[in-house]
Amino acid sequence: MMTDRGTGWIALTCPVTLAIFLLIITSHVVQPTNEFDPYKVLGVSRRASHVEIKRAYKNLAREWHPDKNKDPSAADMFIKISKSYEILSNEERRSNFDRYGQMDENQPFGQSQHHGFRHFDNSFYFDESFFHFPRSRDFADSKYMLHHAQFNNDILPDSYKRPYLIKVTSEWCFTCIHIEPVWKETVLELEPLGVGIGIVDVGSERRLANQLGAYRAPSIIGLVNGRMTFFHQHVVREHLRQFVEDLLPHNLVERINDNNYQAFLDRWHVENKPSLLLFDQVPVVPLLYKLTAFAFRDYIRFGYVDQGATPNTKLLRQFNINTYAPTMLLFKEDTEKPVDIIQARGMKKQLMDEFVTNNKFLQVPRLVNQQLFDELCPVKQFHRRRKYCVLLITGEDEAFLPGNKAFVDFATVNKKDILRFAYVYQRQQQPLCQALLPNQAAAFPQVVILERRSQAGRVLFRSVSSGWNGSQEDKYRLNEQLELLQKDPTYLSSDTTLPELNNEMAPIFIIQWMNAAYDYILQIYDGLLYSNWREMMPILSLIFSALFILFGTVIIQAFSEPSESKPQKPKAKEQNATQTEDDASSRANTSSRPPRKDFVEVTELTDVTYTSNLVKLRPGHINVVLVLTNASKNALLRKFAKEVFSFSGTQTLHFSFLNADKHHHWMPSLLRSACPAWPSESHSDDEESLDYTGHVLALNGHKKYFCLFRPVFTGDDPNDSSSDSSDCKRKSRSRSRSSSHSRSRSHSREDGAVPKRGSSRATSIEVHHKLDRLGLWMERLMEGTLPRLYVSSWPTLSDASSAFSAET
């Protein structure tokens, strides 16, 4: 029994002991371990300040830089140092690391790194090793990762010197894994040639992905000259290589043969650049050569010679080219003899860049823009780095060619590190020449020695006496002054500020506009061809909106009837004018509104509408009144509406008519009130015979003045020598004959002349011609240049004559 009990106790306690042992082991296993600790990598404490972190990063980066440290693990250590500084320099990333420990780049904040263990309260979890799909990115790809600020500050400007191939990827992207081997092969091939490589993670750099227009992963983008192009073919190394080559401009390298090589070399004078020829056996231009041409296209002209082509035998024989290795010849002013030669079987990018950099300028380049001036004659920074610029100010005519050639020969012989020789055309750079030679007329070439002291344009200079014609005496004098300058820097005694140079090589505006339009059309075509609808939707919406507005306007105008094609409109206006007094008063209240499109609203002045349309007219408003009779009513109203139609949209103008048959005393009363010299008794019979038909008055009821338009006459009265003068002026001629006569002739008939005595001339006016010049008079009314006649008060319509007698 004892044995059984002991055995049972041992059997009972063994599972408990085993469970406790497994629990202890599990607790040790699931403890978080920080394989990568940025604090330990940089050697700083967790309480270190930003200055201490930055100082530690600089020291370690300098120590472990792969170019300076030959340790095999230097590259990996340098990447760890960079990654550690990237985490600790960002306050948000540092705070999250202090809370949750090491984090992958795309893991949501607040999610712990305890892989392999989760509480059952959380959802069901698979460890990453379940799929054999590691989420941590390889350090080899980390150096290509792009951020938004880095892309805009570094990558975009650098894309004008070399193309970039950018891959857009994301976590848990199985297609990205599928193209990864091809991508790595392409990077290994293109990066040594000078192609920039970049990787954008959509998860962590959503802002940059939106800027690139990449809304799905994987995507491959080419970047050249700040313009992005998407790769849409099958991801194969050959296709990616061809894609990068197609991004480059097509006119970078010119094909050279026996027929055109001399013309190619002679263009150095026009384009102000050296010429570089590459001789090789392959029929196509190598990508390395194209990339070099793209990087130095602002300094060098590139040409390619196929050694295997038959039309190039003369060229190969002339320069004694070795056909077994690629050869590069660089020519400057002398097109018969190259100034530098390089030949190598394995032409590398570093070798080509060094060869081109050492020969970027001509022996004596022409200053054509400010950028070339800054590079050729830099600003003095240290005493030992002085750079003196010997500048020849000359002309473009053939008479200056011997002197220019002599200056080039002098520069070739006296080539020194501290001297830079250049020349300018006075006609192209007049502000620069006037600043250096303020009191000299540069009718002949001049040589100026200068030293730049600041970026603002301040220079010390001295001009060489007696000018320059290329003689031996001139060369000896210039050489003597250059030797004095090297011994005594204070030899440059003059001081001035140079203006910015004109850009002689800048394309004209129309070419820039055409290039921009071409790029924009290519972008639209690419978006439509490959259905990038999310990016193209705003552009398409703008285009369709403009087309809808355009065609909608055309359709509306096509179905609308023109205003002048309806002859019945004036009849409608006549009917409106002869309505009841209540209707007339209601129209008077709304006369200040802009008239409709196809007619002009004209109100008759009656006893009811007279007060509202004239006496109590609002300030700033003018009532244009036409005087007519029953016989001329239809013809004059139609003509009046046609003449004032273009002015009917003005809210301060109102249009009315006065029937002279009903109120024949109103016009004489108004004229007597405006002209005191008008007789009140002796001419009462003449007033009855006066014809005021066709006269138009612009009445300002608030300021109590009016402007008068008298109709156009078709006949001339030989007995009237002063037909353009008014009665008011004629009555006062005895007081000031000469001044009144000159002033009366300065106004036309429609500027306010009062009608003449006698009806014989009035009868010669055809009714439909009386208002021919009313449009011109209305224009002068709107300009405010018409003479004004003032009245003390407006006469009434009911009994104008009695009202005027009472006022006097």
User: What is the reported pLDDT for 517?
Assistant: 73
Q: What gap in Å lies between CA 264 and CA 283, rounded to an integer? A: 20
Contact residues for 664 (Cβ-Cβ < 8 A; gap 6+): 688
Strand 705-709 with 696-700, pairing: antiparallel
Mean pLDDT per 10-residue interval, the chain, length 808 residues? 41 48 46 66 87 87 81 83 85 78 45 38 37 46 88 94 93 85 93 94 89 87 91 90 92 91 91 93 92 94 90 87 88 92 88 92 92 87 74 89 91 87 90 82 80 87 86 90 85 89 78 70 61 61 83 76 45 41 39 54 86 83 91 88 86 89 86 69 54 89 89 51 39 37 38 42 61 88 90 77 40
Closest to 599 in 3D by CA, of 620, 624, 573, 625: 573
Alpha-carbon distance of 570 to 572, in angstroms, equals 5
How high is the pLDDT of residue 72?
Answer: 80
Residues 379, 456: Cα–Cα separation, whole Å: 10
- CB of 500 closer than 8 Å to CB of 370: yes
Cβ-contact 242, 234 below 8 angstroms? no
Q: What is the dihedral of CA 695, 698, 700, 706, to 10 degrees?
A: -60
Look at the domain 38-100 and name its fold. Helix Hairpins (1.10.287)
The CATH architecture assigned to 253-358 reads: 3-Layer(aba) Sandwich (3.40)
Smallest CA-to-CA distance from 436 within 464, 466, 414 is with: 464
Contact 655, 688 (CB under 8 A): no
Range list of H helices, 337-388: 349-357, 370-376
Q: What is the C-alpha separation between 710 and 749, in angstroms, rounded?
A: 6
How far is the C-alpha of 610 from the C-alpha of 606, rounded, in Å? 6
pLDDT value of position 408: 92
CATH of region 370-497: 3.40.30.10
Q: What is the 3-state secondary structure (H, E, C) of 673-730?
A: HHCCCCCCCCCHHHHHHCCCCCCEEEEECCCCEEEEECCCCCCCCCCCCCCCCCHHHH
Amino acid at 590: T
User: pLDDT value at position 762?
Assistant: 40
The reported pLDDT for the residue numbered 605 is 87
With both helix axes pointing from N to C terminus, report the angle between 91-100 and 74-88 in degrees, rounded to the nearest 10: 100
Which of 114, 39, 180, 217 shows the shortest CA–CA distance to 188? 180
- At residue 279, the 3 state secondary structure works out as strand
Region(s) of the chain under CATH 3.40.30.10: 139-247, 253-358, 370-497, 603-675+691-712+765-790
Give the CATH class of 603-675+691-712+765-790.
alpha beta
The pLDDT assigned to 241 comes to: 93
CA distance 285 to 279: 10
Cα 796 to Cα 465, 547, 799: the distances in Å are 94, 58, 6
Domain 139-247 adopts which CATH fold?
Glutaredoxin (3.40.30)
What confidence score (pLDDT) does residue 347 get? 85
Q: Tokens for 432?
A: 């620069």
Residue 453 CA to its chain's centroid (Å): 34
Residue appearing with tokens 């003005």 = 650
* Residue-level pLDDT at 51: 83
CATH 1.10.287.110 occupies which residues in the chain? 38-100
Alpha-carbon 243 to chain mean position: 30
Which residues make Cβ contacts (< 8 Å) with residue 328, sequence separation at least 6? 276, 277, 278, 279, 341, 342, 343, 347, 352, 355
73 pairs with which residues across the strands? none
**pLDDT of 8:** 43
Residue 445 and residue 393: Cα distance in Å, rounded? 6
3 state DSSP class of 613: helix
Shortest CA distance to 421 belongs to which of 349, 501, 361, 338? 361
pLDDT the model gives residue 138: 54
